[in-house]
Structure 1
Amino acid sequence: DEDDEAFMARVMGFDKFCTTKNTKVPGNDKNYGVNKVKKAEYRQYMNRVGGFNRPL
């Protein structure tokens, strides 16, 4: 009825795979990885006391 490749793919569960690219996976924030939104801190390069040509 079905060929060997399709049978093996179905047995191994490959027919259920789908991509999660650019999608939010529910519960993934609790598994691993931390996504902390951090505000950027800027440093002044120009108009400083002593000029701008010195180490920060």
Structure 2
Amino acid sequence: MGHRPMLEDLARAWTASGLRPVIDSVFPFARAREAFDHLMTGSHVGKIVIALSD
């Protein structure tokens, strides 16, 4: 945790760097349970996304 200006500095640095998170898989909201099951297996590499819209 830090101060808001620190978070804003971090966000600017992240944007300027071009870094992108590693996405393992994307699940539609209707398959959220399957996404959590996938998370619990521990076999993922990167983020598991639950999309709220198409």
Is the TM value for this pair above 0.5? Answer: no
The TM-score, its normalising length taken from structure 2, stands at 0.23
Structure of greater relative contact order (alpha carbons < 8 Å, 6+ residues apart): 2
The TM-score, its normalising length taken from structure 1, stands at 0.22
Instruction: Write 1 or 2 for the structure with the bigger share of strand.
Output: 2
